[in-house]
């Protein structure tokens, strides 16, 4: 079982990733940290707590940083709704949590040196902040898997993918940290898209995970239909599972630099710096079978 700490900004596709992470027996989520991104931090945190309560999982949650390192926060409410969960209203959790997320990383990384994969599926503010505060995390973590970036154009501007766009300075810190980095960007995740009728067999299953997945999947169509989107992409789930499954991915080693000026958030290949693994392709058929298997 791969030990994972998930850093996320739910956000509906983050919620899908949390569900998959809890449903998959090969993944051991030690805890979840929340960051500002798709919506404000108060919402990303509350959505995480509500979802965990709904799924009956009492795992540790820590809230992180409420805005990018050097910039104002840009949210994505047109894709995720005002609260981040579209028109879904889960019963509210009243659990009180701490904001000492970086100390949480350090505690677990010391307990399990080189065993924990940090999977970041929101802007990289928390991860950069923790690496600045505790540089020794670099020697204690196994690696960092990122949902973000693109070599094939953006989804929030023509150049940039959303997570990297929101906090490009944080992304540069993480990409150059010297840790083993896997960038699971749009080149791979855009292959994991489904039209509204493509996951019908999952609707027949009777597990709490299949039910929650399809409730969110349907809500994503309701919200995004309004802006003309006809597919749902499982960006964050795909990044999460890359920490465990390599077969459906094609990786290439590259040096990546993040633009911070006019083409803010663009991830470009560079000739000097830290080599990271970039996912350049992903197998949709494998993914559909995977979802069917874990959600049954
Ligand atoms: C990423 O941006 C966010 O809106 C999603 O949650 C995902 O992490 C995709 O570009
Ligand atoms: Ca996300």
156-202, pLDDT tens digit by residue? 999 999 999 999 999 999 999 999 999 999 999 999 999 999 999 99
Strands 60-63 and 116-120: unpaired
Closest ligand 1 atom number to CA of residue 148: 10
Please name the fold of domain 2-295: Inosine-uridine Nucleoside N-ribohydrolase; Chain A (3.90.245)
Distance between CA atoms of residues 234 and 17, nearest Å: 8
pLDDT at 224: 83
Å from CA of 2 to ligand 2 middle: 21
Cβ atoms within 10 Å of 267's Cβ, excluding its own: 30
CA–centroid distance, residue 121 to ligand 2 (Å)? 5
Looking at residue 108, its pLDDT comes to 98
- Which residue in this structure is represented by tokens 């009180």? 96
In contact, 17 and 44? CB cutoff 8 Å: no
Q: Is the pLDDT of residue 145 over 90?
A: yes
Ligand 2 center–CA 163 separation, angstroms: 7
What is the DSSP annotation of 17-83?
HHHHHHH-TTEEEEEEEE-SSSS-HHHHHHHHHHHHHHTT---EEEE--SS-SSS-----HHHH-SS
What distance in Å separates the CA atoms of residue 156 and residue 235, rounded to the nearest whole number? Answer: 14
Q: What is the mean pLDDT of residues 212-234?
A: 92
Map tokens 């805005």 to a residue: 67
Mean pLDDT calculated for residue range 115-120: 98
If one residue of 19, 148, 160 were mutated to test the ligand 1 pocket, choosing by the most ligand atoms within 8 A of its CB, it would be 148
Q: Does the pLDDT value for residue 227 go beyond 90?
A: no
Angle at 112 between CA 111 and CA 117, to 5 degrees: 130
Whether the CB of 161 sits within 6 Å of ligand 1: yes
Q: What is the pLDDT of residue 289?
A: 97
Tokens of 111: 């307990």
**DSSP 8-class letter at 1:** -
Per-residue tokens: 119: 């999977």
Report, as an integer, the average pLDDT of 106-131. Answer: 98
Say if residue 142's pLDDT is above 90. yes
- At residue 15, the pLDDT reads 98
Q: Tell me if 165 CB under 6 Å of ligand 1.
A: no
Query: How far apart are alpha carbons 113 and 252 in whole angstroms?
Result: 26
Domain boundaries along the sequence of the chain: 2-295
The residues carrying an active-site annotation are 235
- The rounded mean pLDDT for the chain is 96
| Position 138 confidence tier, pLDDT thresholds 50, 70, 90 | very high
Q: What is the pLDDT of residues 67-102, one digit of tens each?
A: 999 999 999 988 888 899 999 999 999 999 999 999
pLDDT score, position 79: 86
* pLDDT, average across residues 212-221: 96
Give alpha helix (H) positions in 60-204.
77-80, 101-111, 125-133, 137-140, 162-166, 168-175, 186-189, 200-203
Q: Do 6 and 21 meet the contact criterion of CB atoms below 8 Å apart?
A: yes
Whether 121 lines ligand 1, by a CB cut-off of 6 Å, is yes
pLDDT at 273: 87
Q: Which of 20, 34, 122, 223 to mutate to test the pocket of ligand 1 (most atoms within 8 A of CB)?
A: 122
Q: Is 144:176 a contact under the CB 8 Å cutoff?
A: no
pLDDT higher than threshold 90 for residue 226:
no
Q: What is the pLDDT of residues 47-66, one digit of tens each?
A: 999 999 999 999 999 999 99
The Cα 78–Cα 38 span in angstroms is 9
Ligand 1 pocket, residue 167 CB under 6 Å: no
In tens, the pLDDT along 263-285 reads: 999 999 999 888 999 999 999 99
CA atoms within 13 A on the CB side of 122: 38
- Given a cut of 90, is residue 210 above it in pLDDT? yes
239 lines ligand 1 (CB under 6 A): no
Question: What is the distance between the alpha carbons of residues 18 and 29, in angstroms, rounded to a whole number?
Answer: 9
Please give the pLDDT value at position 225: 79
Which contacts (CB < 8 Å, 24+ apart) does range 222-228 have? 222/86, 222/87, 223/12, 223/79, 223/80, 223/81, 223/86, 223/87, 224/79, 227/78, 227/79
Nearest CA to ligand 1 atom 2: 162
């Amino acid at each position: 079982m791969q030990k994972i700490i998930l850093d996320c900004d739910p956000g509906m596709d983050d919620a899908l990733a949390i569900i998959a992470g809890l449903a998959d027996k090969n993944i051991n989520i030690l805890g979840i940290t929340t960051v500002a991104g798709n919506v404000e931090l108060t919402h990303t945190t509350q959505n995480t707590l509500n979802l965990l309560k709904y799924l009956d999982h009492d795992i540790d949650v820590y809230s992180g940083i409420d805005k990018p390192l050097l910039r104002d926060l840009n949210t994505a409410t047109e894709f995720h709704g005002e609260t981040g969960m579209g028109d879904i209203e889960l019963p509210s959790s009243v659990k009180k949590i701490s904001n000492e997320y970086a100390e949480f990383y350090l505690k677990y990384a010391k307990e399990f040196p080189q065993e924990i994969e940090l999977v970041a599926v929101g802007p990289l503010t928390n991860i950069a902040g923790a690496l600045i505060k505790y540089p020794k995390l670099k020697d204690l973590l196994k690696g960092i898997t990122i949902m973000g970036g693109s070599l094939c154009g953006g989804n929030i501007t023509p150049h940039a993918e959303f997570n990297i766009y929101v906090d490009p300075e944080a992304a540069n810190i993480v990409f150059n940290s010297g840790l083993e980095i896997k960038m699971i960007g749009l080149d791979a995740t855009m292959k994991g898209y489904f039209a509204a009728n493509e996951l019908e067999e999952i609707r027949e299953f009777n597990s709490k995970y299949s039910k929650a997945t399809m409730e969110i999947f349907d809500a994503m169509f309701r919200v995004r239909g309004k802006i003309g989107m006809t597919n749902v992409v499982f960006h964050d789930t795909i990044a999460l599972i890359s920490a465990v499954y390599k077969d459906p991915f094609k990786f290439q080693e590259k040096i990546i630099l993040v633009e911070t000026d006019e083409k803010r958030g663009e991830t470009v290949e560079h000739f000097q710096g830290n080599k990271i693994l970039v996912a350049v392709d992903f197998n949709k058929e494998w993914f559909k079978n995977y979802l069917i298997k874990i959600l049954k």
